[in-house]
Amino acid sequence: MRAKVTVVIPAFNEEKFLGACLKSLLSQEIKPDEIIVVDNNSVDHTAEIAKEFGAKVVKEKKQGICYARNAGFDAAKGDIIARCDADSILFPDWIKRIHEDFENSGIIGVTGPCYFYDFVGKRGYKKMPKILHTALFFKSSKLVLRHEILFGSNMALLRGAWLKIRDEVCSNEKKFHEDMDLASHLAKYGTIQYDPQLIATISARRVKSVKAYVDYPLRWIKSVRHGRKIRKLRKKKKSLK
């Protein structure tokens, strides 16, 4: 029997982007078994749009991506919890590839690259994100952390693994990248796989300000240090057994 997949989408005032994201999910070669949109205090039509597309709406009053993500993961009923952002547009084989990736023994999390669909036009949009998200973000993080990380706009993990780490993950998103923190806690229970063919496209809205080019690297450094501390603590606990 094929594992069931729940897709969780944290959302705060995402009426502009959410519809396209949900259309891409409903157009999958293999449909998700459940779609959850976490309404994180939106004051626009985010919740209404989610319901129009048949998604389950979960309310989360604590503001922040970590709280919204956690609420969605806790509400998920699928064996696999996939996650994207409200501005993610997923390739048609996204769910299919997630199923295939988790057929590999020992895999508890998967992730893949994201390309901007509105950065510098139709022809040039792939080059910069490929350098940022693949060469720098994934490869450099793996080099120092000794495991693959997760990218929140394009990822999935086993629900059973989430239940093991849900009380350990951190909620300070202003200090750490929440998806990197999630991966650091997840890595002790199995293998996180990077699948270059598990592709999503996202808006470049978050990197169009100068602040993003300062804030993002600083939080990456803090996330790496945090992840290494988690790894050292894990090794220390093993040595004491």
Each domain of the chain, given as residue ranges in start order, spans: 5-240
SS3 158: strand
Q: Does 238 score more than 90 pLDDT?
A: no
Q: Note the pLDDT of residue 149.
A: 83
Q: Which residue has the tokens 């780490």?
A: 165
Q: How far apart are CA 71 and CA 169, in angstroms?
A: 13
**CATH number of the 5-240 domain:** 3.90.550.10
Burial class (CB in 10 A: 0-12, 13-18, 19+), 179: buried
Element (H, E) at 6: strand 5-11
Q: Express each pLDDT in 32-66 by its tens digit.
A: 999 999 999 999 999 999 999 999 999 999 999 99
> Which residue, among 72, 22, 69, has the nearest Cα to 170 in the 3D structure?
69
Distance CA 179, CA 175 (A): 12
Give the torsion sign (CA, 79, 85, 87, 93): negative
Q: By mean pLDDT, which of 60-69, 99-108, 150-159, 203-212 is the weakest?
A: 203-212
Quick check: helix, strand or coil at residue 89? strand
- pLDDT (tens digit, 9 = 90+) per residue, 77-135? 999 999 999 999 999 999 999 999 999 889 999 999 888 877 665 554 454 555 455 55
